[in-house]
């Protein structure tokens, strides 16, 4: 389970976040590309936009459920 005190600094403010346990597998960026990006050095994913529609919320939930490291935090 993702920990708020381990958020990567690139996350935008809001309930969804990626923590430092991210293994940079890029699963979330392919599952929810409207909300997740990789850092410039591709060492971690981060939330660049909080979900703003039911479809985006569902995609983020799917990304969190599928994250092999449990690095995606959600509301």
Give the tens place of pLDDT for each residue, 31-64: 999 999 999 999 999 999 999 999 999 999 999 9
Q: Which CATH architecture has domain 18-73?
A: 2-Layer Sandwich (3.30)
Distance (Å, whole) CA 53 – CA 59: 10
pTM: 0.95
Cβ neighbours of residue 29 closer than 8 Å, sequence gap 6 or more:
36, 37, 38, 45
pLDDT of 66 > 90? The answer is yes
Nearest by Cα to 71 from 8, 22, 14 = 22
Q: How do the domains of the chain map onto residue ranges? A: 18-73
């Amino acid at each position: 389970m993702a920990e708020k005190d381990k958020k990567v600094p690139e996350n935008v403010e809001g309930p969804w976040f990626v923590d430092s346990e991210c293994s940079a597998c890029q699963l979330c960026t392919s599952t929810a590309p409207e909300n997740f990006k990789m850092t410039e050095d591709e060492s971690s994913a981060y939330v660049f936009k909080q979900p703003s529609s039911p479809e985006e919320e569902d995609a983020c939930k799917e990304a969190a459920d599928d994250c092999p490291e449990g690095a995606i935090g959600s509301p």
